[in-house]
Amino acid sequence: MHVRQIENASLDKIITQHYSDLAAYGYDNAPLEVEAFEANKKYSADW
C-alpha cells in the first residue's frame, strides 16, 4: 500500500505528510498508516 501511496503522490510529499501525521496522530492513527492497515485487512482476507 505504501508503494501505491507514493505512486499516487511523490516520495517527498509522502515523507513530509507521514512525519507530520506521525507527530500529530501517532503511528496507529496516522492517515497513511490507517489506509495501509485497512488495505492489509482487505488483501489478506482475499488469500
The pLDDT score that the predictor gives to residue 1 is: 81
DSSP structure string for the chain: -HHHHHHHS-HHHHHHHHHHHHHHH-TTT-HHHHHHHHHHHHHHHT-
Per-residue model confidence (pLDDT) at position 23: 98
CA distances from 45 to 2, 36, 38, 42 (A): 18, 14, 11, 5
Contacts of 24 (CB under 8 A, 6+ apart): 30
- pLDDT at position 27, please? 97
**What are the tens digits of pLDDT across the range 1-47?**
888 898 999 899 999 999 999 999 999 999 999 999 999 998 888 76
Per-residue pLDDT, 24? 98
pTM for the structure as a whole: 0.77
